[in-house]
Structure 1
Amino acid sequence: MFVQLFEQSPAAAVAILLGFVVGITLHEAAHAASAYLLGDDTAYRQGRVTLNPAAHLDVLGSIMLLIAGFGWGRPTPVVPAKLRGGALGPVAVAFAGPASNLLIVAACAALYRLPAFGEGYLLVTVAAVAFVNALLFVFNLIPIPPLDGAKVIFPFLPRSLDGFVAFMNQYGPTILLVLVVVAIFLPGFSVFGFLLAPVVPLLEAFGLPAGIPVL
């Protein structure tokens, strides 16, 4: 995927990779830092409360990102029983990841308003980093385990849906994997076009380009 994109626009390809590195790093670091602040030092003891990308990037996930356009970082270890705040502790830690991606989008929006970032390579970089992090924000809030959205939403569902929650916790990862495989090999049948539809309105709400300029 990125080989083809690099052939079409090297600047856009590099900017997109930068967006994923920054986005994944801050996303996982936010999980680790919020867990530490709420009393769980598990990730802290593993050196995950850091902005060093090497601590958060997964080798296979990075390779898949280059090959298929879909990748992942190293999951941040969290022990819910150690967290303060009762049921809201795990929710706060889960939401911290997507929230960090949203903050990156906001930072890109501020840079985009500066004259220097209105054209050329700087414009491509800001637009690409913002787009990738808007994508990460929306994607991670999809309520399918193990994504953060499930950890944020499921605790607030009524007890009558406990069976559904148990089913999703057991089979959610498989469902997500199937959806990703379909999106890669049968894009015409993918549901991600619907699930990720908020990405463009989110960028527009921040006054950012809905796409990535190609030089």
Structure 2
Amino acid sequence: MLFSQNLADLPYIIISIVIGFTFHEFAHAYVAYKFGDPTAQKQGRLTLNPIVHIDLIGAIFILIAGFGWAKPVPVNRHYFKRPKLAGVLVSLAGPVSNLILAFLGFIIIALLIKLNVPVGSNFDLYPFFQIFVYMNLLLFAFNLIPLPPLDGYRIIEDLVSSRVRARMSKYEVYGSILFIVLIVTGLSSYTIFPWIEFVRVFFLQLFNQLLF
């Protein structure tokens, strides 16, 4: 369980997950809408209301297993005038929104430090924003993994030729099975989570260089 060593962090984790998932799915819907696809908008997904985006089971999974999901935003590529470009940007929008949220959270931490706000005060913002940054970097890195049904896989689909895309679609179910196997067997500790940790450390160092 994430942060199981301190159950006091649980409310911060839940809030961060809700915000991260909501902005992630909204970003997909917004970019798709801007490229001419009204599907998500017609289904009420072009909103920052978390109720329409959060999948309860997916949210619970991220608490107990370190990975999870929200309700996927429906996208109809037939509305796109340039399907490949629009597809890449729609898929990329979700993870990028989490990266932006992580950076904003880090900015707030930097301001708290520069304003000499004491750690452990009655209204201690440090642990919340530290978790907020961590969770959004996790969502950013996790969703860029090139396995279905994650955004990283969808991005690759749109970057390759139509012939390769057709072949990928035939074997997509096996990619999904591989993803599940990695999680269930614990092999994710040697594959998925080292990637997430690499991304987390890289961007924390980058944020630190930019703001301090």
TM-score (norm 1): 0.83
- Cα distance in 2, alignment partners of residues 118 and 164 from structure 1: 57
Secondary structure at 1:170's aligned position in 2?
Answer: helix
Unaligned runs of 5+ in 1: 209-215
Change (3 A) 1:159 1:23: same
Corresponding residue for 1:70? 67
Could you tell me whether the CA contact under 8 Å between 2:84 and 2:159 is conserved in 1? Answer: no
* Kept in 1: contact 2:18–2:50 (CA 8 A): yes
Q: Provide the rounded CA distance (Å) in 1 between the counterparts of 2:63 and 2:107.
A: 29
Matched, 1:119 2:116: no
Q: Which residue of 1 aligns with 2:19?
A: 22
- Corresponding residue for 1:53? 50
Q: Does 1:132 align with 2:135?
A: yes
Unpaired stretches in structure 2, ≥5 consecutive residues: none
> Which residue of the other structure, out of 77, 80, 94, is the alignment partner of 1:83?
80
Tell me the residue number matched to 1:42.
39
Partner of residue 203, structure 1: 204
Q: Deviations over 1:128-159 (max 9, x none)?
A: 01011001101101111111011112332367
Structure 2 residue 179 is matched with structure 1 residue 173 = no
In structure 2, what residue type is equivalent to 1:39?
G
> After alignment, is 31-40 or 167-176 more displaced?
167-176
Dislocated runs of 4+, deviation >4 Å: 158-164
In the alignment, which of 150, 154, 157 is matched to residue 153 of structure 2? 150
Shift of 1:57: 0.5
Which amino acid in 2 is paired with 1:9? N
Instruction: Encode CA deviations 1:29-59: one digit per residue, 9 max, x unaligned.
Output: 1101111111111111111111111010112
Equivalent residue pairs, number:
202
Whole-Å Cα distance in 2 between the matches of residues 22 and 157 of structure 1? 32
Kept in 1: contact 2:39–2:76 (CA 8 A): yes
Distance across 2 between alignment mates of 1:106 and 1:90: 25
| Distance change >3 Å, CA 200–CA 22, structure 1 → 2 | same
Moved more, 28-37 or 116-125: 116-125
Alignment identity in percent?
A: 37
Residue identity opposite 1:198 in structure 2: V
In the aligned structure 2, how far is the partner of 1:160 from the partner of 1:9? 50
